[in-house]
């Protein structure tokens, strides 16, 4: 734990597996919280799907195995919660209720404990199944047949879960706790990120969807570049640097086609222009 970090001295207990919960727990850990992760007997599925990412998200946490179907193991969990400030889950509410984990009851037993529940859909649909792909599909954020290159709803939901956790902690310090429970729906996280599309900014032909030549993708003699010359001074510097009287899409495409993406990236850096070579994988 990093001394002086915002959440230094606070303790979080998480039952959350897969991606959103572990990503949220990792962020809480970055803020200085001590994190205890209780996994089911079969472990976190992410450990099988991608061991390296699982290890990265679990780094610095105390990981233990609990079979919450057993009464003695549920008692162990309650022992952890008695000394915790935050509780993080990502199971469906019906499954948690079968384990005796109910917001009002938990708050009565541990009045200083804040519970952040990551669910797929907001109540009363919180028990409906889903995953990142279906949440994005429902918001028009897919372009079939290509699959998304990141888990947008999962990671956005993780950040929302951290925000909710911080809000609960602040409410506790102000003496404003009610149920000390916050629900974070991944489908709502996806909905928040569809706003540029919904308002027409990033749709086909929209301002940032191909409508501006200075904010676009261009094929080069080798590779592609992304340029984001939104401000007039950037666009003027781009036009001047390329020796172009106009900076329409066809003008720029013809100019960029002459050199490689790597060349243009270096060229732009010398001129303080927002232009980057498109990479196939993260650096």
Dihedral angle at the C-alpha atoms of 92, 39, 188, 104, nearest 10 degrees?
60
Helix 249-256 / helix 232-242 crossing angle, nearest 10 deg: 50
What is the dihedral sign for C-alpha 81, 96, 179, 165?
positive
Q: Could you tell me which of 84, 148, 95 has the C-alpha nearest to residue 120? A: 95
Pairwise CA distance, residues 152 & 261, whole Å: 27
- In terms of pTM, does the model score above 0.75? yes
Averaged pLDDT score across all residues of the chain: 96
pLDDT of residue 197: 94
Residue 30 has pLDDT above 80, yes or no: yes
The model's confidence at residue 179, banded by pLDDT at 50, 70 and 90, is: confident
pLDDT of residue 1: 46
Cα atoms in the Cβ-side hemisphere of radius 13 Å centred on 90: 24
For the chain, percent of residues with pLDDT exceeding 90: 95
The model's confidence at residue 97, banded by pLDDT at 50, 70 and 90, is: very high
For the chain, percent of residues with pLDDT exceeding 70: 99
β pairing state of 275-277 and 224-228: antiparallel
Name residues whose C-beta falls within 8 Å of residue 72's C-beta, 6 or more positions apart in sequence: none
Rounded to 5°, the CA angle 2-57-63 comes to: 80
Strand partners, 25: none
**pLDDT tens digit string along 151-171?**
999 999 999 999 999 999 999
Domains of the chain: 11-196 (3.40.50.10540), 207-277 (3.30.1540.10)
- The mean per-residue pLDDT over the stretch 197-210 comes to 94
């Amino acid at each position: 734990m990093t001394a002086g970090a915002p959440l230094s001295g606070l303790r979080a207990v998480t039952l959350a597996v897969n991606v959103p919960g572990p990503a949220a727990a990792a962020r809480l850990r970055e803020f200085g919280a001590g994190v205890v992760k209780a996994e089911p007997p079969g472990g976190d599925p992410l450990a099988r799907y991608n061991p390296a990412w699982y290890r990265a998200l679990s780094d610095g946490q105390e990981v233990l195995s609990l079979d919450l179907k057993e009464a003695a193991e549920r008692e162990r969990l309650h022992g952890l919660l008695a000394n915790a400030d935050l509780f993080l889950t990502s199971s469906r509410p019906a499954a948690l209720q079968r384990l005796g984990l109910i917001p009002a009851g938990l708050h009565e037993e541990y009045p200083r404990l804040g519970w952040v529940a990551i669910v797929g859909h907001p109540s009363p649909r919180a028990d409906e199944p889903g995953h990142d792909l279906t949440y994005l599909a429902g918001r028009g954020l897919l372009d079939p047949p290509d699959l998304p290159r990141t888990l947008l709803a999962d990671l956005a939901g993780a950040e929302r879960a951290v925000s909710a956790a911080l809000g609960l902690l602040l409410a506790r310090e102000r003496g404003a706790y009610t149920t000390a429970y916050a629900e974070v729906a991944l489908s709502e996280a996806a909905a928040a990120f569809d706003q540029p599309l919904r308002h027409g900014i990033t749709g086909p032909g929209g301002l940032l969807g191909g409508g501006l030549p200075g904010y676009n993708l261009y094929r080069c003699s080798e590779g592609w570049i992304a340029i984001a010359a939104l401000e007039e001074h950037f666009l003027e510097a781009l036009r001047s640097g390329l020796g172009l009287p106009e900076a329409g899409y066809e003008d720029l495409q013809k100019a960029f086609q002459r050199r490689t993406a790597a060349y243009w990236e270096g060229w732009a850096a010398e001129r303080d222009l927002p232009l980057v070579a498109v990479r196939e994988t993260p650096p």
